[in-house]
Amino acid sequence: MLLNASPDLRQQIEANEFLHPRVGLRSTPIAAVVLTGGDVDAIAGLLVMRERQPFTVHAAPRVLDVLDANPIFEVLARDIVMRRAVALGVPFDVRQPDGTACGLSVELFAVPGKVPLYLERPGEAPAIAEDGNTVGACVSDGRHRMFFIPGCAAMTPRLGERLRGADLVFFDGTLWDDEEMIRAGLGPKTGLRMGHMSLSGPEGTLAAFADLDVRQKVLIHINNSNPVLLDDSPQSAEVRSMGWNVGYDGMRIEL
Amino acid sequence: MLLNASPDLRQQIEANEFLHPRVGLRSTPIAAVVLTGGDVDAIAGLLVMRERQPFTVHAAPRVLDVLDANPIFEVLARDIVMRRAVALGVPFDVRQPDGTACGLSVELFAVPGKVPLYLERPGEAPAIAEDGNTVGACVSDGRHRMFFIPGCAAMTPRLGERLRGADLVFFDGTLWDDEEMIRAGLGPKTGLRMGHMSLSGPEGTLAAFADLDVRQKVLIHINNSNPVLLDDSPQSAEVRSMGWNVGYDGMRIEL
């Protein structure tokens, strides 16, 4: 069977069993989605899910409110796509729409961040706080712990203890240093002003993770000003020497 | 310069000048977007446009209403992304946000289609009508005419005359025959019931275009039940023998 698709796409489809139906004619292997926020980059992917396929959306109430406020998400028909509200700090079992547990437990938890842009007061730098506007996720199958933290403004002792010894952490790799956007002429804001800690420096991510004994560390949410995106940059060599990988589309990790 | 990306993506970026900024540090070459409808597959792509880049959205008032009703589209900041209402049947110049014409003229026009799912009356097959819910676009640079018609329920004499002699037509290739979804157990509806004419048969798309002298014909909006997606199917051979190509991601056509 040859698919009439671009060579790249055809190769991907043939090589990746995730793209074949497992049950019936049109199943997908996606039983549930956990949302960590209401920003476009966290929720727009829902619009490319296959229509009329049952799955569950787990999210904090304020994120479900965002979906409710946008009729376009009604494409996830409510009779087959369940929306379940979850509380921060309370682990829950990820469930299929029929209520069956998937074998994964997830906890959403607040990490340091800033208020959303639309809640900022003009002329005033927003405070960094753990107010639930920025969250991370801990996913566990009972044997391994994986963290997903795409935005984080600071490493606190509490967050460090939570991450210690984890099998895998995906972490905010937005900027290399706090002023790179300003220096490059790309914008007037520092990283911290945008709610992101930077990779370099004594308060940076590389230093903060140095003693946390995390087995696999992957940078995500990387801004296109960050030199770690260049394979041959000194910064890229430095992150690799500290045990980090730089995430990319199609990356697969086994625990 | 090596990008830290999957090999496929890296190759695409290096090979494709469209992915490099042309003006300043972060420009895109997209000056304007013309929307042909308010369905998810017509508008969700707006959410992956680069933020804070000026462009113009041209669309019929009912489609702009859909954007207005969904706050997520406010990510297209209204101070830099212009929204311009256009009337069906009246050619307009595509414009950059500063008002400069791009050199392309577009006409949106009604084609036969059915009412949207949410306006259907229960138990009653919807009538096929040119009511403005299904539209095509004609794009012209003054020398060539290109048509984009992702959904169409029937070929009328008027539509045929409009398309005659066009340089390029992208056309609704949803189904091979009207009952393939039912036969494959994928759903209870015929193609016509969903507002799509089929490729095969005496009233089908291949027959309808046979005498229209369209220079290049490309099938788009192809359902995954349509055997033309298989390179080695007889149906694929048949559409090619009738002068059609089957569209794919990354396709490029020069006129």
How many structural domains does chain A have? 2
Minimal-distance CA residue of chain B relative to A222: B4
Asked if B72 lies within 8 A of A70 by C-beta distance, the reply is yes
Of A42, A70, A102, the domain-final residue: A102
Provide DSSP, B140-161: E-SS-EEEEES--S---HHHHH
Distance, CA of B236 to CA of B219 (rounded, Å): 11
Q: What is the mean pLDDT of chain B?
A: 88
| Residue A38, both tokens | 């209401």
**Per-residue confidence (pLDDT) for residue B11, from 0 to 100:** 65
Does position B219 have pLDDT exceeding 70, yes or no? yes
Residue (of A88, A196, A192) closest to A135 by Cα position: A88
- B131 versus B9: the higher-pLDDT residue is B131
Rounded to an integer, the average pLDDT of B101-123 is 85
Interface test with A, best of B14, B72, B194, B252 (most A CBs within 10 A): B72
Q: Are B180 and B202 members of one domain?
A: yes
Longest Cα pair distance anywhere in chain B, in angstroms?
61
Does residue B249 sit at the A interface (CB-CB below 8 Å)?
A: yes
Nearest to A231 among B4, B72, B236 (CB): B4
Minimal-distance CA residue of chain B relative to A219: B4
Asked if B48 lies within 8 A of A47 by C-beta distance, the reply is no
Q: What confidence category does residue B10 fall into, taking pLDDT thresholds of 50, 70 and 90? A: low
H or E element that contains B129: strand B128-129
In a domain, A60, yes or no: yes
- CB A146, CB A255: distance < 8 Å: yes
**Per-residue confidence (pLDDT) for residue B96, from 0 to 100:** 84
In a domain, B234, yes or no: yes
Scan residues 7-26 of A and list those with Cβ closer than 8 Å to B.
8-9, 12, 25-26
Interface test with B, best of A4, A10, A181, A240 (most B CBs within 10 A): A4
In A, which residues are within 8 Å of B116 by CB distance?
Answer: none
Q: Are B63 and B179 members of one domain?
A: no
Shortest Cα distance, chain A CAs vs residue B161, angstroms: 30
Give the total residue count for chain B: 255
Of A102, A129, A149, the domain-final residue: A102
Does residue A80 sit at the B interface (CB-CB below 8 Å)?
A: no
**Per-residue confidence (pLDDT) for residue A22, from 0 to 100:** 62
The neighbouring-strand residues paired with A58 are: A34, A84
Residue (of B95, B225, B215) closest to B164 by Cα position: B215
**Per-residue confidence (pLDDT) for residue A250, from 0 to 100:** 85
**DSSP 8-state assignment for residue B120:** P
In a domain, A85, yes or no: yes
Does residue B182 sit at the A interface (CB-CB below 8 Å)?
A: no
- Strand B81-85 and strand B92-95: the pairing is unpaired
| Residue A242, both tokens | 């500290």
Provide DSSP, B21-67: -SSTTT--S--EEE---SSHHHHGGGGGSPTT--EEEEE-HHHHHHH
In a domain, B129, yes or no: yes
CATH number at residue B241: 3.60.15.10
- B120 versus B254: the higher-pLDDT residue is B254
**Per-residue confidence (pLDDT) for residue B118, from 0 to 100:** 66
Asked if B25 lies within 8 A of A251 by C-beta distance, the reply is no
Q: Are B128 and B48 members of one domain?
A: no
**Per-residue confidence (pLDDT) for residue A1, from 0 to 100:** 37
**Per-residue confidence (pLDDT) for residue B16, from 0 to 100:** 62
In A, which residues are within 8 Å of B66 by CB distance?
Answer: 72
Q: Are B40 and B162 members of one domain?
A: no
| Residue B139, both tokens | 């794009």
Q: Are B24 and B85 members of one domain?
A: yes
Does position B67 have pLDDT exceeding 90, yes or no? yes
The neighbouring-strand residues paired with A81 are: A55
| Residue B109, both tokens | 């026009």
- B30 versus A88: the higher-pLDDT residue is A88
Q: Are B93 and B30 members of one domain?
A: yes
Of B83, B101, B119, the domain-final residue: B101
Please write the tens of the pLDDT for every residue from B168-208.
999 999 999 989 988 888 888 888 888 899 999 999 999 99
H or E element that contains B224: none
Nearest to B229 among A4, A75, A224 (CB): A4
In a domain, A72, yes or no: yes
In a domain, B255, yes or no: no
Q: Are B139 and B239 members of one domain?
A: yes
Q: Are B139 and B80 members of one domain?
A: no
Distance, CA of B144 to CA of B158 (rounded, Å): 20
For residue A8, report the phi and psi dihedrals to the nearest 5 degrees: -60, -50
What pTM, to 2 d.p., does this model score?
A: 0.84
Q: What confidence category does residue B7 fall into, taking pLDDT thresholds of 50, 70 and 90? A: low
Instruction: Looking at mean pLDDT, say which of A26-30, A121-125, B127-131, B148-152 comes out highest.
Output: B148-152
Map residue B118 onto helix, strand or coil. helix
In a domain, B49, yes or no: yes
Residues of chain A with pLDDT under 70: 1-26, 117-119
In B, which residues are within 8 Å of A186 by CB distance?
Answer: 25-26
Provide DSSP, chain A: --B-S-HHHHHHHHH-GGGS-SSTTT--S--EEE---SSHHHHGGGGGSPTT--EEEEE-HHHHHHHHH-GGGGGS-TTTEEEEE--TT--EEEE-TTS-EEEEEEEEEE-SEE--GGGPPTTSPPPEE-SSSSEEEEEE-SS-EEEEES--S---HHHHHHHTT-SEEEEE---SSTTHHHHTTS-S--TGGGT---SSSTTSHHHHHTTS--SEEEEES--TT-GGGBTTSHHHHHHHHTTEEE--TT-----
Nearest to A2 among B44, B228, B230 (CB): B230
Q: Are A124 and A146 members of one domain?
A: yes
Rounded to an integer, the average pLDDT of B51-64 is 91
Q: Are A193 and A158 members of one domain?
A: yes
- Domain residues for the domain of A241 are 111-247
Residue (of A199, A191, A196) closest to A219 by Cα position: A199
In a domain, A87, yes or no: yes
Contacts of A11 (CB under 8 A, 6+ apart): none
Does position B2 have pLDDT exceeding 50, yes or no? no
Dihedral angle sign, alpha carbons of residues A161, A164, A169, A173: positive
Q: Are B86 and B119 members of one domain?
A: no
**Per-residue confidence (pLDDT) for residue A72, from 0 to 100:** 93
CA-based R_g, chain B, Å: 20
Shortest Cα distance, chain B CAs vs residue A142, angstroms: 31
Residue (of B192, B164, B155, B174) closest to B246 by Cα position: B174
| Residue B245, both tokens | 């190509």
Nearest to A72 among B40, B224, B230 (CB): B40
Asked if B4 lies within 8 A of A248 by C-beta distance, the reply is yes
Q: Are B139 and B232 members of one domain?
A: yes
Residue A115 CB: number of other CB atoms within 10 A? 16
Does position B104 have pLDDT exceeding 70, yes or no? yes
